[in-house]
C-alpha cells in the first residue's frame, strides 16, 4: 500500500464519518481492495474501526475514524508533500557523471573524501581572493 493511498483514506475519514461503502464510492476503489487496505491500516494503528449503534436489522455499519497516529501521519504527509524535490534531467545526468567520476577515483586508489576536501579548499581560496 502506498503512502498516497493511506493519505487519501485518512483524508476521507477525517473530513466526515465514513463507512466502507462511503469510502468505496468516494475513493473509487474495489471493495475487496479497500477492505484489505483498511485492515492493514488498522494493524498499523492509523485508523480505528467501530460499529455504529442503531436499531437497524442486519450487520451493524462500521464507522472508520482516524486515530491520533493517523492524524500525525496525515500532517507529516502534507508537510512532506509541500517539500517535494524537483530535479531536471540535466541535474540527474550531472549526478550520474559525478558518481562515475568518484568510482574512477576510487578505482585508482584515491580517497574521494580527500579529493572533495581539496576541491573545497581550492574553491574557498578562489572565493576569498576575489
Task: For 56-68, write each residue's pLDDT tens digit.
Answer: 677 777 888 888 8
Question: Alpha helix locations (H) across the chain?
Answer: 3-15, 20-27, 31-43, 68-82, 89-107, 112-129
- Answer yes or no: do 10 and 57 share one domain: yes
pLDDT of amino acid 54: 67
pLDDT of amino acid 122: 92
Closest CA to 51 of 66, 65, 39: 65
SS3 103: helix
pLDDT of amino acid 17: 78
- Answer yes or no: do 75 and 99 share one domain: no
| pTM summary value | 0.57
Rounded Cα–Cα distance for residues 20 and 22 (Å): 5
- Answer yes or no: do 22 and 70 share one domain: yes
- Answer yes or no: do 13 and 59 share one domain: yes
- Answer yes or no: do 49 and 101 share one domain: no
Q: pLDDT, tens digit, for every residue of 2-18?
A: 888 888 888 888 887 78
Cβ neighbours of residue 1 closer than 8 Å, sequence gap 6 or more: 37, 40, 41
SS3 10: helix
- Answer yes or no: do 7 and 56 share one domain: yes
CA distances from 48 to 43, 103, 114 (A): 9, 50, 53
- Answer yes or no: do 16 and 73 share one domain: yes
pLDDT band at 121 (very low <50, low <70, confident <90, very high): very high
- Answer yes or no: do 15 and 60 share one domain: yes
Q: How many domains is the chain built from?
A: 2
What is the residue range of 76's domain? 3-82
- Answer yes or no: do 72 and 113 share one domain: no
Q: What is the CATH number of the domain that holds 32?
A: 1.10.10.10
Amino acid at each position: 500500500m502506498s503512502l498516497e493511498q493511506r493519505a487519501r483514506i485518512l483524508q476521507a475519514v477525517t473530513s466526515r464519518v465514513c463507512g466502507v461503502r462511503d469510502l468505496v464510492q468516494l475513493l473509487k476503489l474495489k471493495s475487496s481492495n479497500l477492505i484489505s487496505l483498511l485492515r492493514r491500516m488498522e494493524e498499523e494503528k492509523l485508523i480505528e474501526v467501530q460499529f455504529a449503534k442503531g436499531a437497524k436489522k442486519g450487520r451493524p455499519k462500521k464507522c472508520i475514524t482516524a486515530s491520533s497516529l493517523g492524524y500525525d501521519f496525515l500532517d507529516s504527509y502534507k508537510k512532506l508533500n509541500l517539500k517535494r524535490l524537483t530535479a531536471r534531467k540535466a541535474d540527474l545526468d550531472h549526478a550520474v557523471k559525478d558518481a562515475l567520476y568518484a568510482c574512477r577515483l576510487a578505482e585508482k586508489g584515491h580517497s574521494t573524501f580527500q579529493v572533495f576536501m581539496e576541491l573545497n579548499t581550492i574553491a574557498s581560496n578562489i572565493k576569498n581572493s576575489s
